[in-house]
Amino acid sequence: MRGRLATDFERFGRELPRDFAGYVRQTYRIDLTARYLGYDLPHPFGKGSGQLSLNTDQLETDRAAGLAFVVLKTLIAETAAGERTMGAWAIHETRMAVERRLSLDGRDGWTVTWKGRGWDRSLSEYLGLVRAGRDLTCAGPDGMLVVPSVKYHLPRLGEPFIEAEYAHTTAQLADAWGDAQLPIEKDFSPTLAGDPLADERDQVLRWIGEVPGRIRRAAPHGARVQLKLMNARFDDAFQIEMLVAARGADGVTAFNRLFDSERRVAYGGWDLSDRNLRVLDLAGERGVAPAGLSATGNICSGRALLDYARRGCESGQLHTFFQLPLSEYPATAGSRTARALHALVFHPTDGLIVGMLELEEQGVLARHNGELRFLDLAASHFTEAQKATTEAQRHGEEHS
Ligand SMILES: Cc1cc2nc3c(=O)[nH]c(=O)nc-3n(C[C@H](O)[C@H](O)[C@H](O)COP(=O)(O)O)c2cc1C
């Protein structure tokens, strides 16, 4: 297997087959099937919302490379009169800097420094992108799942939600999507985490609890709602409280970037994945097992994704790894997306295939009908988390 992997790594570095997941299944007997928001995916690698999902050219490049899914840039919701309470997030900024970032414990990673925020063009332009995304989603094996992302009004405690933003924006998106249930990701961003609006814990928990129902009610054919939770400026225990509050959502993306309050910018790198993995560990220990977990944060190798999968994540959303200088990818041809996928899946020491083969050797993964299955990792984590809940409940009963 390892000899074969070395050969595949070498030749796919010149051209990655679009259906590499089919090839992996046939050749290595590894089923990479993954899941996002209830959709089956050929493999777990997708693109997180941001500057790399702004137009149809980017979508077409990703589809051609064989990416599993894309979350579109976050739209800022508006009323029928065009009013936006979160208008401060719709600012225009083009310059991004891909930089090295040293983590607190001294590891060298990558981050993208950028002062912009949400979608800065019109709602009607966004709807055009959503229609193109829906066509790709419906195109079967030649297509790719594409999901819109939105930031809606978030009130202070005691104040009502501005329904007109939820109603108008969701109805417009649903209309662009057509007759099926609307898939949608709701972004709680790092700049929101850094905003005085997010200073109140109860206020944040109320948003997370109430937003999924509000979006669903505003969508004529219903909606599947993924909440992309932020790294709040509170402790790890609060991250767990947010996961618990999100139980009404169809899925949770964990967790958006950290906020550097001195430089007033969001950042990633190893500090981000360390925190996310630590919180997901804690969630498992406490028996909190959110449905539809999707990972985000410093996924720069197949191994990094496996770290998230072993904590319950069924897919991963990357941004930074699709932006590195070309010299950082081992492939010598193809789009950045194709070069990134090549390294993520086929790298002989850090890729997904070698990582799964190692987990088999360690007895963590077992074959079913001769196949290793990516989704078994998340499923077994949930069983462990449920065992932890039962154990905690039993412990509680014994002491009461
Ligand atoms: C330049 C940039 C813009 C982003 N914009 C958004 C956004 O509009 N909405 C959102 O939900 N996440 C946004 N993100 C977060 C990414 O989708 C992703 O979750 C995060 O960067 C962590 O993944 P990474 O470590 O692979 O970059 C952005 C990230 C970057 C770097």
- pLDDT for the residue 399: 56
- How far, in Å, from the CA of 362 to the mean position of ligand 1? 34
Nearest 5°: the CA angle 44, 231, 171 is 70
- Residues of the chain falling short of pLDDT 70: 385-400
Q: How far is the CA of 118 from the centre of ligand 1 (A)?
A: 10
The whole model's pTM is what?
Answer: 0.95
Relative to the CA of 300, which ligand 1 atom is closest?
26
- Taking each helix axis from N to C end, the angle separating 20-28 and 2-12, rounded to the nearest 10 degrees, works out to 160
Contact 273, 59 (CB under 8 A): no
Q: What ranges make up the beta strands (E) of the chain?
A: 30-31, 34-36, 39-41, 45-47, 69-76, 96-102, 108-114, 145-151, 182-187, 223-228, 251-254, 258-260, 265-267, 293-296, 315-318, 372-373
Q: What is the pLDDT of residues 102-124, one digit of tens each?
A: 999 999 999 999 887 889 999 99
Q: How far apart are CA 42 and CA 19, in angstroms?
A: 8
Length of the chain measured in residues: 400
The residues lining ligand 1, judged by C-beta closer than 6 Å to any ligand atom, are 48-51, 73-74, 96, 112, 114, 118, 149, 187, 189, 228, 256-257, 268, 272, 296-299, 317-321
What backbone torsions phi and psi does residue 295 show, to the nearest 5 degrees? -90, 150
> Which of 36, 47, 49, 53 best tests ligand 1's pocket when mutated (most atoms within 8 Å of CB)?
49
The pLDDT of residue 385 is 66
Q: Which of 111, 95, 207 is nearest to 151 (CA)?
A: 207
Residue 50: what pLDDT? 96
The pLDDT tens digits of the residues spanning 370-383 come to 999 999 999 988 77
Give the 3-state secondary structure of residue 48.
coil
Whether residue 199 contacts residue 230, with contact meaning beta carbons closer than 8 Å, is answered with no
Distance 391 CA to ligand 1 centre (A): 37
Neighbour count for residue 340 (Cβ, 10 Å): 25
Cα-Cα-Cα-Cα torsion 129, 135, 136, 138, nearest 10 degrees, comes to 140
Residue 178 buriedness (CB in 10 A; 0-12 / 13-18 / 19+): middle
What are the tens digits of pLDDT across the range 193-205?
Answer: 777 887 889 999 9
